[in-house]
Chains A and B, each alone.
Chain A
Amino acid sequence: MEMLSSLLLIFLIGAITTYFVDSINRKFTGIIAFLFVLLGSLFFYSNIHIGDVFVFQLGGIEMQWGINDYSYYFSYIVLGLGVLALLYSIKYIEGKARQGYFYASFLLTILGMIGVIISQDFVSLFIFWEIMTWASFLLVIYNAYYKVKTKGIKYMIFSAIGAYAMLTAIVFIKEHYNTLLIGEAIERGAFNFQQYRYIPIFLLLGFGIKAAVMPFHVWAPAAYSKSPMSFTTIFSGAMSKMGIFGIGLVLSTFYLQHNPENFYWVKLALGWLGGITAVMGTLYALIQVDAKKLLAYSSIAQLGYIVVGLSTGTKLGVMAALYLAVLHAIFKGALFMVAGAVERQVGTTDMTKVSGLIRRMPWTFFVALVSIIALAGIPPLGGFVGKWLLYEALITESNNYFLVIVIFFSSTAAFLYSYRFLFGLFLGQEEKETEHVKEAPISMLIPMLILGIGSIIIGSFPGLIFEPAAKAMQAIGFKDVTWQMSLLSNIWGNTTHLFLISMLIFSVFIIAFLFLTLKGLKKTRYVGTKEISTSGELPKEWENFTFQHNFFKPFERAASPLYHLNMNRIWKDLGKNTEAFFGFFRKLYTGNGQTYALYVIIFLVLLLLFKDVIFS
């Protein structure tokens, strides 16, 4: 039973080793870090089994680490993406400063995440949560070592709010239910909204901040886009899922005990929060000009879908949420890697400056295309399955009909930024400045391709994810979760045959491709992007006709009322007003001894006047 602690030890030793190896020899830092994570993952999947529990005493508090199906499910995200992200990091971070710092923080983050999913008591959950937060904070400020205040402060503040909320909840749980074990707390009904409603609300606040749910999402765009891309892969792909992990844990009370109908408002509130998150994330994603920021906002939107799925509390909905959690890790991980590859090879991801990379970086484009199709939810790739489950859950099993429309609006508008991402970086006219650009190195391509091919396979065989997801759902209290390898079905008995669809699409593709390619093969010329009909005018080499600025301006104009809602501004106003409020108290401190003497005298006079009232 020491396996769990030795797993954490591997990551800890890895972090320390890489930090010191870096000061001896820079070349091997990345490889060593990668090997440590690989070792940790192999160790995890070979030596650790579901049901393992490790109990020990620390300062008189009983700590319990263990693994069940639910946490095992999330370990796939953390370790799978972690290995790929570190492989990707080797070349991505090559030649940059402070590599030891980077890798050590990276390994500590993974350690924190693994710790969070294996914690079975609140104290270790909180400790690992803080390790995760702080290590990731170090990485957020990695690119802005000397400008911590501007770049990382939002993440810092919101993480602190989340941590305090969680700590408060933990203290209250100890107070009211006299336990620190998560399982016992669930059994004693700590998370039901019946008696002490603030406990689950505080916990949801703490987890929701990490999952970037609507009013608390403002830290995410900056943190996701400013940290190094190889880390954002796991930051957005895996760490945000820790919030989902927690929300699922809290809501599992719903599923386990009590009749959720009494607390319909919780579902409703959470669902609408998720829905609004999805819409706002999408709306802001499609007006971005920086590809990294676009992806960051898109992450927020996708997490909104997951929260909506969890909020339904039905089998299909929770399945959709768990499925989307893994799938989001796959495609968004790949997309952040694509953005990183472009950043490394070109130097910028500003879509107004980069265009026409498709011929320079064809494999990167392939991954981007596949992942974007998965993101947009177009069949036959994996994203469609998630969308299908979510819609069917909302329509057939939940009474939240208007939320469907909101979600659908968001996912239709997601086509816009999906196209924007592909067009902005890879399509459009080829530029003279990017002529020298080469394809990303092979060690960066491999993880990208693995993720890309993953979303293709899952599109036809979502059962690969359904199987562990169904087990995870049973672990948090669902009964009889059914799934099929490549068949989707809802409770009304309607089905969608995914493998059949894939085969049909594939065969039509082959026929159409052969027809179109072979027909007049020799007389078909493949010309460059300067060969366009510009009313007969010959484009000069330095001229670039790519339409990049204000790409969706008409949509922006049409949806302008929605753009007036800016959470960032609301928080800023709140901060300003708070400052003004306390500024008033600051005026009492004039710095003049006479005034202070006056205060003392006034105090004494008041005391004497009201002494009967006070001391009676």
Chain B
Amino acid sequence: MNDIIFKIGGAFLTAILAFTVGMFYAGLRRKITARVQNRVGPPIYQNFLDLLKLQSKRTNVAHGFMGHMAPIWIIIAAMTVLMFIPILQNNLWFENLTLKGDLIFLLYMMVFGSLGMALGAGQTGNPNSAIGVSRGLSQMVGFEIPFVMALVALMLQFKTTSIADLMHFQFTSGHWIILENPFAFLAALLSSLGMFRYSPFDIVGAPAELASGPMSEFGGKYLGTMMTGGAVFAFIKLVLFVDLFLGGAGNNSVEGIMGTGLGLLELLLKTFLFYMIPVFVGLVSPRYRTEQAIQFFWKWPSVFGILAILWALYKNGTLL
């Protein structure tokens, strides 16, 4: 009985945590952008207000069944992936289903939302949406390649396909994977630039060209739900990178609620630091064309990916 309470309560807690942190990070990003541009900028809770306003819109427009379903796919993908990602090490509240799925599953589940949303955007009949989807899917083929190379390297080096095991390794050995396999980190970092879709890889939304692309026909509750999903997804990506390369969080020996609090603080610190990389790259970059964006990922990031695999084989002793 206690177990079930932990499970359900933990799931809700995880969802709320992911949502809050994701939304605050998006607000922080706007604030930082404003400060860099010598502006005051909106308050950091601005995105909550935006969400509340969107959800309180009195009328809504849907372009048919798939259009109605579009935000639902994103929520499904976000929530499912969230349940399978370890948030804190050795913490009952955030255990969820972390041991029940592995990295290959996560990789495929993460595209679920984009594809569902693409279908919804397709049904609206807006040509901008279709162009945005075409760009987004093409770009996905770009950044997934170095990312998968990095993941394969990790899997080979540590003989596991489970993210929980990778985290556990870093916990027990005390070595972060960023130092164990730096090339994998580089490849994943570069592909994370594309994953976050900030400049120079913001070719999907591209407000000035495509009128926000796939989202162009969604407003009110639909846009609001998409924002929620997006915020959770931002958190998921950050936690994934922290878990994989930066040692995860919650590796302290403090018992009870204090330990959880310290773990969460550690998580926030690490995710924030990682988040700043795509944000600051985005601040100083113009936008790529689609083919340039794809080719970017197939050049240096892929080279790093191959090096990461070779490095993993070398560390394993199976190279040559």
Interface segment among B22-30, B176-184, B234-242, B290-298: the answer is: B290-298
Q: Bound state CA distance, A528 and B124, in angstroms?
A: 8
Which A residues between 399 and 420 are near B, CB-CB below 8 angstroms? Answer: 399, 401-402, 404-405, 408-409, 412-413, 415-416, 418-419
Interface segment among B36-44, B156-164, B189-197, B244-252: the answer is: B156-164
Interface check A331, CB cutoff 8 A: no
Chain A residues within 8 Å of B118, by CB? 419, 423
Q: Bound state CA distance, A501 and B73, in angstroms?
A: 15
Interface check A262, CB cutoff 8 A: no
Chain B residues within 8 Å of A500, by CB? 97, 100
Across the interface, do A512 and B100 meet the contact criterion of CB distance under 8 Å?
Answer: no
Interface check A530, CB cutoff 8 A: yes
The answer to whether A516 and B101 touch (CB under 8 A), given A529-B124, A529-B125, is no
Majority secondary structure of chain B interface residues (helix, strand, loop or mixed): helix
Chain A residues within 8 Å of B294, by CB? 554-555, 558-559
Across the interface, do A423 and B161 meet the contact criterion of CB distance under 8 Å?
Answer: no
Which B-chain residue is minimally distant from A522 (CB atoms)? B59
Contact of A554 among B57, B127, B138, B149 (CB under 8 A): B138
The answer to whether A408 and B63 touch (CB under 8 A), given A512-B76, A547-B130, A555-B141, is no
Across the interface, do A533 and B60 meet the contact criterion of CB distance under 8 Å?
Answer: no
The answer to whether A523 and B60 touch (CB under 8 A), given A419-B118, A500-B97, A505-B80, is yes
Q: How far is the CB of B55 from chain A (nearest CB, A)?
A: 8
Q: Bound state CA distance, A555 and B131, in angstroms?
A: 12
Across the interface, do A545 and B75 meet the contact criterion of CB distance under 8 Å?
Answer: no
Interface string of B242-269 (1 = CB under 8 A from A): 0000000000000000000000000000
Chain A residues within 8 Å of B301, by CB? none
Chain B residues within 8 Å of A534, by CB? 126
Q: How far is the CB of A498 from chain B (nearest CB, A)?
A: 9
Chain B residues within 8 Å of A379, by CB? 105, 108-109, 112
Interface check A495, CB cutoff 8 A: yes
Interface check A576, CB cutoff 8 A: no
Interface check B21, CB cutoff 8 A: no
Interface check B168, CB cutoff 8 A: no
Across the interface, do B145 and A527 meet the contact criterion of CB distance under 8 Å?
Answer: no
Which A residues between 409 and 452 are near B, CB-CB below 8 angstroms? Answer: 409, 412-413, 415-416, 418-419, 422-423, 427-430
Across the interface, do B97 and A496 meet the contact criterion of CB distance under 8 Å?
Answer: no
The answer to whether A387 and B104 touch (CB under 8 A), given A419-B133, A526-B62, A532-B126, is yes
Across the interface, do B101 and A509 meet the contact criterion of CB distance under 8 Å?
Answer: no
Interface segment among B45-53, B64-72, B276-284: the answer is: B64-72
Q: How far is the CB of B119 from chain A (nearest CB, A)?
A: 6
The answer to whether A554 and B126 touch (CB under 8 A), given A416-B141, A520-B60, is no
Q: How far is the CB of B85 from chain A (nearest CB, A)?
A: 13
Q: Bound state CA distance, A520 and B225, in angstroms?
A: 14
Interface check A490, CB cutoff 8 A: yes
Chain B residues within 8 Å of A418, by CB? 115
Contact of B130 among A423, A496, A508 (CB under 8 A): A423
Q: Bound state CA distance, A429 and B102, in angstroms?
A: 39
Across the interface, do B156 and A516 meet the contact criterion of CB distance under 8 Å?
Answer: no
Interface check B318, CB cutoff 8 A: yes
Interface check A513, CB cutoff 8 A: yes
Q: List 21 A-B contacts (CB under 8 A).
A: A362-B65, A378-B108, A378-B109, A378-B111, A392-B104, A395-B156, A413-B141, A416-B137, A416-B141, A422-B122, A427-B122, A428-B122, A492-B159, A500-B97, A512-B76, A526-B64, A526-B68, A533-B126, A552-B134, A558-B138, A558-B294
List residues of chain B with CB under 8 Å of any chain A CB. 55, 57-66, 68-69, 71-72, 75-76, 79-80, 83, 97, 99-102, 104-105, 108-109, 111-112, 115, 118-119, 122-127, 130-131, 133-135, 137-138, 140-142, 144-145, 148-149, 152, 155-156, 159-162, 165, 211, 216-217, 220-222, 225, 289-291, 294-295, 298, 305-306, 309, 313, 318
